[in-house]
Structure 1
């Protein structure tokens, strides 16, 4: 556990700074463009390259490429260097072609992800997409560089590189707001030059992030030399393994497409309560997951892959159980605190510039529902890595199919039954239910594969964590009620709620959990105390 804890702590520090600057980036961008027509147009255009990357490249990196690199590092006489060079060559060529094709198809792509938009809103979204879609190439090349760094147990750069991206985008959003002020949210009057600033500024941040990762890879000894003997890159094996990964990502993105279309449709019926509100809430829901769970997942996968390649699959159960406890020990209180303090978070972040307190509260209500999904969503992602370590990409595809079926069905019900303003809350609830069900199914299947995942012990540990977290949630709820009674809900009162309710709530949780002798909390407290003692 100590090795994973140390590696996860290094990554968590970088991810913390990345996510905090991401907080600022999202707040400044929302203040500049709002959550109405222009905000929706930008968020859809911004999301499409991420969707395409995940659909065609991203899922393959974690499920196929990293385990293959690990195997080639062990089996090839040159330690896998030539294989890595072929992989990077293939990535540069394929991603460049993909970026060019996607840019040419910006119009149809925007049409696919929107519902009920007028001609001007579509025109603005297409223009932004044409500026943003070229970032696919840089995003993908940086991701390949990060994957190679991870296989060498170099985790810091991939976690810190997004900070530069956020800083660039913060500067762009501030300049846009200073330049246009309140007119910056008007989709009918925004100029081509303003769209150029938003679009190319967004892409410039990804270019900077990619350069940081490429330089870091060079510093650890990787020397890129284009190699076109791609037949030696194991494309056949990669393709056979990746076909199910493509299926998994494709199914997942189908679910995302359904959610996005329903959210954009709701936004047309209730302006300000559409896709932007859902997207911003989801980004903040991802904050604790990205800081805690992603760090542990990134450290776990190469280790589990080595255990399988070295004929020690029994070690995976222990590695996984350790990872679950490390993830849950902080995500359990984080999820409960999000359920209580969601509006306080979003009012503090979003009630500025061209945003209103009412819009910020609505985002916070969606975030509260996402708080319920934090633990099951993170456990589901951890469980997938068990299958990936064995080179099994088929089972995750079927798990994704079940998730999408549940999520899409409940989302459609929410869209039809709920008033337009509450549709995105219903979409968040559908997401939560889908991952609760998906985690239960995935756990059962993974336990059969490994021969047991210590379910009783993990369940007992989670129960103790929730018991320790309930007083913290109660404290936060009391602070929330008292502050609203005395001052109402505004940016200042939200800051008080978060500092007192959130800060003291987390301290109370750690103190109670430490007294309850929850081992993971004791490890964290001991590590922090050791650092302070130095």
Structure 2
């Protein structure tokens, strides 16, 4: 599972109010905007202005909506509350640079970490044991406290820092005390319950696999305390406009795990199984992974104290308002519960498929949860790099429009944000389908992960890639609901969407050949977002008097049409180099030539088809480069 990261912030007006982007308010700036924000402004300048529509312009006091633009789905990358969006304009670009650099380095080292673990553990039974054991602490944390931290504690802290006479100092001390105490209890109980927790998430593990996963879990569940400590410390740092440590601390965690994975590979060699590794070797893996999380938490807590926080344990919660804040989080907790149910279903289906393939003597390559997770990580990269930046720029814009009663401008921003994201996400998703197998062979076919294992990951990624636009559409729709101050509707939408996902996933387990279950499982994943997008679209269309659907559909159809020549050329390259010996050189050649020529073909065809969003985006990039 990918870890949340904060992304490029959005600015404020000099008077301290949320800046309404676009139009006259976007007169020449003396500072350079974050790229996503500049791209949105470029699209806005290329399209006609928007006048208030009858029935969609309502005068409101912004305080009616509370602290808008800060709600986010737990466990996903997004705009951090009290973070960069609240920084003074003079510090905005410096904060953006620190955050962007930290995000890039964190993702790069995280990518290397995954490659090292794939080489050390493989993608079959031992890899599944580790992945499951390392996933459980994050699942327990998200279910029991992570959702509350994102949806209740941090917004509550931001509000109290603004209104309390002591600047929120007492609230910070209470939150820090309560959260650490709750984390300690959850961690101790979880470690004691390691064996049943593994059985819940992977009920069909073989006996050696179950024993290995349980031993690993006894160490890895200790991460819960430090995951939570990192979360609250990072949030409190962001509320102080200190962004460096939260962005860079995960890099240290990644480096530790890279070292541990390398040491494990050197000690044990490759092609290990749950029955061939010793307790000492598993202890190295479990303790080393936990050490990375410990060091990440230590760095963040140290940075928090260096920023001026002084902790005095306080449990005087009566009258603090925290209880009332928790009681208002019921809908968000329902959302978290549904998400964790989906994770439970996916993990059980994938691990059972992997075990059944191995027991039947069939190829277990790509049949388990490890291959699914590795493909999922690659699938989400375009969204994490492109769409999240756009979403981060959109949240304050849409929230400000809601506060001004301009739902018509919210609709316009949604349309522009989706079309702008699609300019890059559509061709990247098609490129994923074409180049998934050679790319996965290039990065994963090492050590305990064979070329067949890597090809299986590539086939899973091909199916995932087709789901990228529904996934992005759904995330943008949820941000519109959050900008409207509505957390109830997303939670209700999640129920039928998850029911569809679970039904299809279980059907695949019962009917598909074991070695194909995980290859097809992304279809169930995509069904969640397809059902969710349809329901969310219907709800938003009624509230926003339409969602600019015709323009969005036209842009998407033209973008996909523009990718056809690129896809055909890339497919021909993959087929042509497939006859060459080896794996590294053919993969590099196919992606380098196919990718470069394919990108050029896409741009030429898109311009020919009149995709204005592509032309506008390229002009923005060109002008940005000329200003350097």
- Shared fold (TM-score greater than 0.5)? yes
Which one of 474, 499, 503 corresponds to residue 409 of structure 1?
503
CA distance in 1, matches of 2:565, 2:149: 41
Cα offset for 1:338? Answer: 1.1
State the partner residue of 2:456: 362
Gaps of at least 5 residues in structure 2 are 1-20, 22-32, 39-83, 86-95, 359-363
Contact 2:422 2:556 (C-alpha < 8 Å) held by counterparts: yes
- Tell me the alpha carbon deviations over residues 236-286 of structure 1, each in whole angstroms, 9 at most, x when there is no partner: 332233222221111221122112111111111213312222122112212
Greater shift in the superposed pair: 345-354 or 288-297 = 288-297
Superposed CA offset, 1:333-378 (max 9, x none): 2211111111112111111111111111111101100001112112
* Contact 2:436 2:462 (C-alpha < 8 Å) held by counterparts: yes
With normalisation by structure 2, the TM-score equals 0.76
Please give the per-residue CA displacement for 1:32-57, whole angstroms capped at 9, x wherever unaligned. Answer: 11122211110100111121122223
CA, structure 1 residues 323+40, in 2 after alignment: closer, same or farther (shift >3 Å)?
Answer: same
CA offsets per residue over residues 117-155 of structure 1, 9 Å max, x none?
232221110110111111112222222333445566666
Question: What is the total number of aligned residue pairs between the two structures?
Answer: 532
After alignment, is 140-149 or 31-40 more displaced?
140-149
Q: Which residue of 2 aligns with 1:394?
A: 488
Contact 2:152 2:326 in 1 (8 A): no
C-alpha separation between the residues in 1 aligned to 2:142 and 2:241?
23
Partners of 1:35 and 1:461 in 2: CA distance:
39
Identify which of 190, 212, 215 aligns with 1:124. 212
Structure 1 residue 209: Cα displacement: 2.8
Flag the 1:345–1:43 CA change in 2: closer, same or farther, 3 A. Answer: same
Unaligned runs of 5+ in 1: none
CA shift at 1:226, angstroms?
A: 4.1
Instruction: Tell me, yes or no, if structure 1 residue 340 matches structure 2 residue 434.
Output: yes
Aligned position for 1:373: 467
Higher alpha-carbon deviation: 420-429 or 228-237: 228-237
2:355 alignment counterpart: 268
**From 585, 594, 607, the counterpart of 1:501:** 594
Greater CA drift, 86-95 or 359-368: 86-95
Q: Which of residues 270, 291, 294 is equivalent to 1:204?
A: 291
Higher deviation after alignment, 381-390 or 101-110: 381-390
1:186 matched to 2:280: no
- Find the counterpart in structure 2 of residue 427 from structure 1: 521
Q: Compared with structure 1, are the counterparts of its residues 46 and 367 closer, same or farther at alpha carbon in structure 2 (3 Å cutoff)?
A: same
Task: Find the counterpart in structure 2 of residue 173 from structure 1.
Answer: 261
Distance 1:146 1:470 in 2: 44
Residues in 1 aligned to 2:594 and 2:112: alpha-carbon distance in whole angstroms: 21
Question: Max radius of gyration: which structure?
Answer: 2
* Further displaced range: 23-32 or 51-60: 51-60
- Which moved further from structure 2: 128-137 or 305-314? 305-314
Q: Describe how 1:467-478 pairs up with structure 2 within 5 A.
A: 467-478=561-572
Alpha-carbon distance in 2 for matches of 1:70, 1:303? 19
Within the candidate set 477, 480, 495, 2:574 is matched to: 480
Kindly indicate whether the alpha-carbon contact (under 8 Å) linking 2:504 and 2:524 is maintained by their aligned counterparts in 1: yes
Match of residue 340 from structure 2: 253
Q: Which residue in the other structure is 1:38 paired with? A: 126
Single out whichever of 155-164 and 311-320 deviates more from structure 2: 311-320
Change (3 A) 1:310 1:521: same
| Deviation per residue, 1:397-426 (Å, 9 max, x gap) | 221111211111111221122111101122
Whether 1:90 aligns to 2:184 is no
Alignment of 1:447-526 (within 5 A): 447-484=541-578, 486-487=579-580, 490-506=583-599, 508-509=601-602, 516=610, 518-519=612-613, 522-523=616-617, 526=620
- Relative to structure 1, is the Cα distance of residues 291 and 74 closer, same or farther in structure 2, using a 3 angstrom cutoff? same
Decide whether aligned partners of structure 1 residues 306 and 96 sit closer, same or farther in structure 2, where only a CA change above 3 A counts: farther
Contact 1:63–1:385 (CA under 8 A) maintained in structure 2: no
Distance, in Å, in 1 between the alignment partners of 2:478 and 2:522 is 22
CA gap 1:482/1:352 in 2 versus in 1, 3 angstroms: same
Distance 1:391 1:239, change over 3 A: farther
Partner Cα separation in structure 1 for residue 411 and residue 299 of structure 2: 35
1:152 and 1:309 map into 2 onto residues whose CA distance is: 25
- Structure showing the higher helix proportion among its residues: 1
Cα distance change of structure 1 residues 450 and 488 upon mapping to structure 2, 3 Å threshold = farther
CA RMSD across the alignment: 3.1
Identify the residue that residue 446 of structure 2 maps to in structure 1.
352
Secondary structure of the residue that 2:119 maps to in structure 1? helix
Aligned to 2:74: none
Q: How far apart in 1 are the matches of 2:612 and 2:450?
A: 42
TM-score between both structures, scaled by the size of structure 1 = 0.89
Cα distance, 1:178–1:476 mapped onto 2, change above 3 Å: same
Whether contact under 8 Å (1:83, 1:232) holds in the other structure is no
Q: Is the 8 A contact 1:465 1:513 kept in 2?
A: yes
Give distance in 1, aligned partners of 2:526 and 2:617: 30
Give the superposition deviation at 1:212. Answer: 4.1
| In 2, Cα distance between equivalents of 1:505 and 1:228 | 61
Does the CA contact (< 8 Å) of 1:116 and 1:265 recur in 2?
Answer: yes
Aligned equivalents of 1:309, 1:181: Cα separation in 2: 60
